[in-house]
Structure 1
């Protein structure tokens, strides 16, 4: 039997890659992928379970699908991914509308699970080994055709005290170099212009295979392929090698934009959270990166209200931001996640953590405003992503903006600009915190 299957993917880009692989498996089995869950035989909600807020979003989506089932507009509902892995008993026990779940070790069993719910009246609960699950496989890209993600590893061995990822995704495992190069070559052949290299921690790539850092080696090979830009996401600060810095600085295809989550800068908090760096080391790293990579734009992630953070430690974090002037930062209030060591430690209440996150965002806004002012008058290469009807301008991204997290550059042009093409834009102004400009002939 052939079925119509709809997919909803929540959470991070790594989760999105899993969803793309499931879509390819389902299509290869003879089923049809449809974008709208209404009218589908099966809807698959691929969940994030990293934070309580992500679980709430997942439950909202599941309940929305449950309403479609109740109205007779959807036959079956499968839940996959991190929340299914983390709260399997709760999902099955408290959400009777869910017809089956697949954990993060069982994405490859999606076709069997669809057959089970459609034909057997089973309620599959497939929870394969999260440490050995297959990582590769065909994908149906769900990103716009001009960019795609290349996930180079799965899992994490860092075991930060606030984080549940190792228990959801397993131990760190790098994918073989040749397998990655084959997948990347396929993406380049499909017309992908911007390749985003992702993993929970890309700097550790290869160390589990032979003890050596191999990210620099991988990047040199990727730069030989027909990509215009290669972007790097999630570099762990103390794993950034001299060789890696040299490659990033020397290779014109690697955009001078690095996403280095630090979470905090206070030495006591970093140690309590099982981070392996100190404030002095972070300051030295950022200074070295800026000196070696001209035009570098930095992104980081920060958590306010972590155990050990009082008023003085929070002010230290704000002062650190002002000093380093990190251009992009995601700021999150501490969420005491069940099953983590940090949840057992004394910390400020959620309201105070949230208040501090808003104050840190204010500090960050000043830094972004100053950065935007500093680049006015410059010309930037911009990847056009389409025409924005509300702004009545084209919208695109330069090397300094990553998809989905950093906003756009809005620009005017005398001639039509096709999505997925590169144009040179002179930056002339700022609109609601985002840069504006005009295409240069």
Structure 2
């Protein structure tokens, strides 16, 4: 039997693709292994979004290529980097036996067979026609949570982003198919489902001709045994009153939203070709803040072409004023084949990094002050690990891997995936400390 392993890099959407590849391979008789040293065939599911992600993907391919000196027979690159640099990867990285684009992993079993017979394979260019609905899937996340990809591709025209060229146009998955997948996940032990897409708030616009995320939330909340539903990647231009009301009133939808804003200054937003402006953003935040306990996560880009000191100061003041509970910052990555690549007034890397440090310093103070307010409060926390004599887990305020954790003092043994009540006793810049109630 052939042993196959997958290393999944980049975003949660890639994680879902990797899980579906695993499902296809298992159904075709391959043995799935978690340790790359045991693999006869190894797939690196790559990210190609920004420069740092590209470097990480290439470094992994090179590192895994060294395993060919031992047991490994076949090394395959899949995902966004493969879709973007198909021929170049196969030419420049001789350790690769196959390159598979974002819309071609349905043929993963056949491709592996070909490579085991000595062929070098390249498959790409089908992102727009790709439909991965109802594929078998092996979850790679901890048993109590999983990601539900509700659409593929993107129709936005952000000038900094390459994703539409790599993932194709926006394609929603039918509600009934998503509900069925959610039921399968819950039957396998999942308690928290995390909705992902390139833009979750546009869900349904293509097949139902209207924004259907509120409807999807209602249908998912009817799944018996599901405890939490979390929304990631919610673009602000799709956040309407119906969605806000659904978040507020639906008990299974956690009061948390990941809303990538990218900037606060109208001139920069215009150059980015974002659909919202400062006034719209402030109105949405005001409405979201009316939901008791609401936590807003956002991301910003600093150093976008032409970003003046005045525009950057506007962003700093906006962040200080809005006091986001969770915030991430990227330095602008100049990506070929994007409109922003050829924009004038590109910003020096040293200035980008300086601006990044300024924002992160501001947010560190905001985050600590926000967290101090939680001392004495009680939260339901899902237990996820143990280190240095303390358990740790997440409350509704934290998404896995991107947000902080709550450390838990407990004299009794706690089970991973268990939901417990914790009283907060201390606060740090990004994490909380509490004791089992």
TM-score, structure 1 as length reference? 0.97
RMSD: 1.0
CA distance in 2: counterparts of 1:305 and 1:347, whole angstroms: 8
State the shift of 1:281 in Å: 1.2
> What does 1:349-388 align with in structure 2 at a 5 Å threshold?
349-388=348-387
CA contact (8 A) 1:202 1:234 kept: yes
Cα distance change on mapping 1:400 and 1:8 into 2, 3 Å: same
Q: Is the 8 A contact 2:264 2:314 kept in 1?
A: yes
Cα deviations across residues 99-146 of structure 1 (Å, max 9, x unaligned)? Answer: 011100101111011000002x21110114111112221110000000
Residues 373-398 of structure 1 show CA distances to partners (whole Å, capped at 9, x for unaligned) of 1111100110111222x2x1110000
Conservation of the 8 A alpha-carbon contact between 2:9 and 2:47 = yes
Match of 1:44 in 2: 43
| TM-superposed deviation, 1:37 | 1.5
Is the contact made by 2:367 and 2:429 (CA closer than 8 Å) also made in structure 1?
A: no
Query: What's 1:122 paired with?
Result: 119
Retained in 2: the 8 A contact 1:3–1:41?
A: yes
> How far did residue 432 of structure 1 move?
5.8
| Residue 31 (1) aligns with residue 36 (2) | no
* 1:245 corresponds to: 244
Aligned 8 A contact 1:335 1:350 in 2: no
Whether 1:416 aligns to 2:413 is: yes
Give 5+ residue unaligned stretches, structure 1: none
Partner of 2:311: 313
Distance 1:433 1:213 in 2: 34
Distance in 1 (CA, whole Å) between partners of 2:239 and 2:430 is 31
Q: 1:99-118 alignment to 2 at 5 Å?
A: 99-118=97-116
Q: CA deviation at 1:210?
A: 2.5
The residue that corresponds to 1:187 in the other structure is 185
Using the TM superposition, give the Cα deviation of residue 310 of structure 1 relative to its aligned residue in structure 2, in angstroms. Answer: 1.3
Structure 2: which 5+ residue stretches go unaligned? none
1:426 corresponds to 2:431: no
Aligned partner of 2:16 in structure 1 is 17
Paired position in structure 1 for 2:433: 436
Q: Is the 8 A contact 2:157 2:273 kept in 1?
A: yes
1:68 aligns to what? 67
Q: Distance in 1 between matches of 2:113 and 2:247?
A: 47
SS at match of 1:208: coil
Deviation at 1:72, TM superposition (A): 2.6
Correspondence for 1:338: 336
Tell me how many residue pairs correspond in the alignment: 434
Any conservation in 1 of the 2:368–2:428 contact (CA below 8 Å)? no
Other structure's SS at 1:299 match? strand
SS state of the match for residue 416, structure 1?
Answer: coil
Aligned to 2:129: 132
- Aligned equivalents of 2:350 and 2:153: distance in 1? 31
Alpha-carbon offset, residue 431 of structure 1: 4.3
Runs (4 or more) in structure 1 with deviation over 2 Å come to 430-433
Give the Å deviation of 1:230. 0.5
User: For the Cα contact (< 8 Å) 1:135–1:175, is it kept in 2?
Assistant: no
How far apart, in 1, do the equivalents of 2:153 and 2:129 lie? Answer: 10
Query: What TM-score, normalized to structure 2?
Result: 0.98
Distance in 2 (alpha carbons) for counterparts of 1:21 and 1:220: 26
Deviation per residue, 1:328-373 (Å, 9 max, x gap): 1110101111111111112211121111111100111111011011
Separation in 1 of the partners of 2:131 and 2:156?
Answer: 21
Inter-partner Cα distance in structure 2 for 1:39 and 1:265: 49
